[in-house]
Structure 1
């Protein structure tokens, strides 16, 4: 598999994810998940609706490729948001260099184009909360959604009055035609102080009935309540979509059984790990 920089460069140059994956049989699941997300985006645009999808995946199943493929799809306006600042800097620098060389753009123009595709979460929120207009992008890919902070941390660190989930939903709801949020969920990771977990997304969505919600099955059965999207109450416009779970490892073809074992350990499934 390519490195994240190689994948980003290839996708930014409008090569499809299928080309990057070198036609390996174990990437069928990745293609299915990408197709499911793109279908939600196309349907939202056609019907004028607001949609959020929650994507899960075992370690090594290709969430990085999936999110980059959506962000760089030429026919949609999407931005990949991450809280990992080194990733933002490295990818922007690599894409700026490539775009400047390939198309003869100035470094300034190339930097502007790369910023439109990859941005820090905090930068996006600060830009968007400083004005009332809808953001330029109709689609955002939100990395590590389970780590979105709660209202207390938002008030103390960023001077926001709501949880990160609520703010993101309200920002994207400013669009008059449609909007899509692709929320990527990391499995089995410890939630730190101030991080609200998926439960905060569920709470915010229950208060905003205009949003249509699709999610991988695993968001409902996490061992920790804080990591469950919904417990008892669910929105009327909610459905489970198994295509939104990446369950086939592609990181290392020689260790196909390793990723399911790691996932079972992280999720606390002792019996599954032993088998």
Structure 2
């Protein structure tokens, strides 16, 4: 596990230790080859703080304080008079750049959100540029959660700064109780992939509270299935279910990264048919490798491409070669989106010239792994109610293929596969009566970790889309204090709300369904595709990034990924009329009713996806409409807004 800090001591003890003694402790805790510049930086920090804090006789000081979710360490944390001061140094700097300000702000927000002992304490981030001009202590700007806006300092006026920020004595906090209170991080999937790829364990970067223990349970359950298959030379498939944001992809990535340390036979590959997710994960991992290891971008991309692959490229390679794939373990992300026989056959005949291809994607993928003569494991990660495109098979196609063609494969299933969202009602009796099916409680992830402020968000969204406004109102009353959801009829107000709520490097963004064609007059054009890597990874100075709130992502861009704050732009493709949801598609110059049950389900699921992308909160924008425009008439939108207000919003 990550050590909480390289150095910890009461401030009076710190003041009475020699600089060399403190440097020795920091160096020993570092544990790796230490660059001279790092030791010199520590020396400057210690000497400056011993000078500035010399009048203090209480409080606790921490050097290199761990921020596990971000895989980093804050330079210094001071626990003083019931206030947490997070201090970041830029030794030798004479100015304060934006990235450094955001960095210390992020550390403070991370402590507030994920460190249990800091939840109720005021937190003040301070950025020190050691060669900046001396500055007079400035007024503190507090946010509602009692995290201050970053204070900029030269370090030469630290004592008056600290005393000025704590205007009256506050009850002291016991340092040992505070540091051991528990750190419950919920990383984004991008942060998690980077940390896992750097050999951190899932236990280090993920929450460990009782409500989210099942991520560890699920990971261990999968490990046991893999170990048993390998030891006894047999083939097994398991289906991992979970609510949106519960960590299915994280569990899969964890198994894939763990296997990278195994021998060649025990290695796994993470496969996804979600093109944007693959693009973003590969780019994020490659950028991280370049920044940390100073390798060439092309080399980094080649390395990570063997770890995260597009499922369609895997399929095409298997068509080209008859040999089994090099991996004995494959993880299929969003397995419910694999194609039906009709969709797969149509695509293979038209796009790949495979005139005789007559299998569903699940059947073909199992057949590829069945080529192994000894053992193989398929891990299917399944999101219920998230099929969003024509030809996506759900789980029925997987079960049908296993029952009809692969009787020797053991099947491990989550106990929640009975739920209607998974579409297995016709296979229920066969599953229950089969001796080769093992029901595993550990294969379901029931707690959302994406929305760390509101674990019941997916339940709230489900009530909204299933036309249960009273239940939605009840659930929202439980989460609204921790997970703000606003409602507006003004797109400019929505953008301003997002800008006001996003702090540090928290990422806001606009999302709409792919059928929201009549939002274009508001500058929201879903037909203009985003570049997923730029939108999700680039900073606030890049017009292509989500930060600019100009380009809008659709359900196809964001499924499996997440934002901190989301602006959900709701069009008339899903409208509330006569006490029920009605689905429409814009064709030519007018809206047309969607009559196909399958297409109605896809549209409902599109909104389920976009409404569960935000980790910290969201604002729903419903247009006012224009009486003169028959494609944007107010009555299309007024019913949606009125219904959402019945659900507790507004």
1:52 to 237, 241, 247: 237
Contact 1:188 1:267 survives alignment (8 Å): no
Instruction: Kindly provide the CA deviation profile for residues 118-143 of structure 1, in whole angstroms up to 9, marking residues without a partner as x.
Output: 11111100011111111111111111
2:272 to 71, 79, 82: 82
Residue 193 of structure 1 and its aligned partner are, at CA, apart by: 2.9
**Structure 1 position 161 matched with structure 2 position 358:** yes
1:133 to 302, 323, 335: 323
Residue 252 of structure 1 and its aligned partner are, at CA, apart by: 3.0
Match of 2:415 in 1: 217
Q: Which has the higher contact order (CA 8 A, sep 6+)?
A: 1
Q: Secondary structure at the match of 1:236?
A: coil
Instruction: Kindly provide the CA deviation profile for residues 41-90 of structure 1, in whole angstroms up to 9, marking residues without a partner as x.
Output: 11111111111100111122112211211121133411111111121122
Give 1 or 2 for the bigger CA radius of gyration: 2
**Structure 1 position 150 matched with structure 2 position 340:** yes
Q: RMSD of the alignment, in Å?
A: 2.6
Instruction: Kindly provide the CA deviation profile for residues 212-247 of structure 1, in whole angstroms up to 9, marking residues without a partner as x.
Output: 0001112234267x4458233234311110100001
Between the aligned partners of 2:401 and 2:380, the Cα distance in structure 1 is 14
Q: 1:95 to 1:232 in 2, by over 3 A?
A: same
**Structure 1 position 114 matched with structure 2 position 304:** yes
Residue 4 of structure 1 and its aligned partner are, at CA, apart by: 1.7
Q: Secondary structure at the match of 2:255?
A: helix
Match of 2:399 in 1: 202
Residue 265 of structure 1 and its aligned partner are, at CA, apart by: 6.3
Residue 22 of structure 1 and its aligned partner are, at CA, apart by: 5.4
Contact 1:198 1:228 survives alignment (8 Å): no
Contact 1:220 1:229 survives alignment (8 Å): no
Q: Secondary structure at the match of 2:301?
A: helix
Between the aligned partners of 1:221 and 1:269, the Cα distance in structure 2 is 18
Match of 1:257 in 2: 456
Between the aligned partners of 1:190 and 1:9, the Cα distance in structure 2 is 27
Q: Secondary structure at the match of 1:233?
A: helix
The structure with the largest strand share of the pair is 2
Q: 1:19 to 1:150 in 2, by over 3 A?
A: same
**Structure 1 position 43 matched with structure 2 position 244:** no
Contact 2:387 2:394 survives alignment (8 Å): no
Contact 2:384 2:421 survives alignment (8 Å): no
Contact 2:344 2:360 survives alignment (8 Å): yes
Contact 1:187 1:266 survives alignment (8 Å): no
Match of 1:172 in 2: 369
Contact 2:249 2:381 survives alignment (8 Å): no
Residue 145 of structure 1 and its aligned partner are, at CA, apart by: 1.3
Instruction: Kindly provide the CA deviation profile for residues 184-236 of structure 1, in whole angstroms up to 9, marking residues without a partner as x.
Output: 11112346432222111111111211110001112234267x44582332343
TM-score by length of 1: 0.89
Between the aligned partners of 1:265 and 1:220, the Cα distance in structure 2 is 22
Higher mean displacement: 193-202 or 254-263: 254-263
2:383 to 177, 181, 186: 186
**Structure 1 position 241 matched with structure 2 position 440:** yes
Q: Secondary structure at the match of 1:253?
A: coil
**Structure 1 position 230 matched with structure 2 position 454:** no
Higher mean displacement: 3-12 or 17-26: 17-26
Residue 95 of structure 1 and its aligned partner are, at CA, apart by: 1.8
TM-score by length of 2: 0.39
1:2-21, aligned counterparts within 5 Å?
2-21=187-206
1:31 to 195, 213, 216: 216
Contact 1:216 1:244 survives alignment (8 Å): yes
Contact 2:188 2:450 survives alignment (8 Å): no
